[in-house]
Structure 1
Amino acid sequence: MPRSELQTRINDALKTAMRAREKARVAVLRLVTAEFKRIEVDERIELDDARVLAILDKMVKQRRDSEQQYRDAGRAELADQERLEIDVIQEFLPQPLSDAELDQLVADAIAQSGAEGMKDMGKVMGILKPQVQGRADMADVSKRLKARLG
């Protein structure tokens, strides 16, 4: 059963972490692989790199939200655990886009779609999402796009 290149990298990292007896890293990588398996079984599909990136991106977003909630509640030890998980998962995401690169992609997508206002935001997001998946926070992309279109 062929796997996506990203899944293979994650599985190799899991094996390496197990050999090195890095308990915390093993736990995070097992969470990630379990999520992949759950989606493959539930949806009866084989994941490709684009879908794996989307899953990793979602996992990072969830952990950022949790980390913020724990910090607000004064639970530093739980927030630190979330931060560790974010750091491990981000190792497998592509290099984040700079503000300038993101602004350029937004401008290009607006030009490519011919968007003239907020009513065309969906069209532009459809073009942008595959380009920025895993490389930028979609909420930030949406905010920049609204500023340009609004």
Structure 2
Amino acid sequence: MDTKTQLNDAMKEAMRAKDKVAKRTLTMVRAAIQQSEKDRRAELDETAVLAILQKELKSRQETITEATKAGRDDLVADTEEEILILKKYLPEAMPAEELRALAEEVIAELGASALTDMGNVMKVLIPRVAGRAPGGDISKTVRELLEG
């Protein structure tokens, strides 16, 4: 079952269970997906849906940071609950060792040897990782490997 279908089913379940946090979270994610589909004028594939989920997750992690600084413990608790809901629909995070091995494989395939090749490596590597690792981690790993 694809992620969009899972989100729709979970939304119905949250409404039946009267789970306000889950309903609110899933509504926002579905709205982001629908908006992206409208903007592109096309149905999103699984990779694009996972990218939206990652973006929503990152947004909530930033919210926790800001709410903690402001002393808003109530907002932190709600946002942590939203993060747990979002993580249910994301694939298992890729271990750093696996990411490094995949990056080394792509670098070898392309014959990349300098930092100037980083864009080409990222272009090939990101679709292979497909939402299982944050972009910052991918970039950091590739940079370390290319720098030596």
Cα contact 2:25–2:85 (8 A) shared by 1: yes
Work out the CA distance in 2 between the residues paired with 1:27 and 1:121: 39
Greater shift, 79-88 or 27-36, is seen at 79-88
5+ residue gaps in structure 2? none
Cα contact 1:97–1:136 (8 A) shared by 2: yes
Question: How far has the Cα of 1:9 moved from its partner?
Answer: 0.9
> For this pair of structures, how many residues does the alignment match?
147
Cα contact 2:115–2:143 (8 A) shared by 1: yes
Distance 1:9 1:37, change over 3 A: same
Identity %: 39
Alignment of 1:92-111 (within 5 A): 92-111=89-108
Query: SS where residue 95 of structure 1 aligns?
Result: coil
Scaled by the length of structure 2, the TM-score of the pair is 0.91
5+ residue gaps in structure 1? none
Cα contact 2:21–2:78 (8 A) shared by 1: no
**Aligned CA-pair RMSD:** 1.5
Moved over 4 A (4+): none
Map of 2:46 onto structure 1: 49
Question: How far has the Cα of 1:75 moved from its partner?
Answer: 2.0
Counterpart among 22, 32, 35 of residue 35 in structure 1: 32
Query: SS where residue 92 of structure 1 aligns?
Result: coil
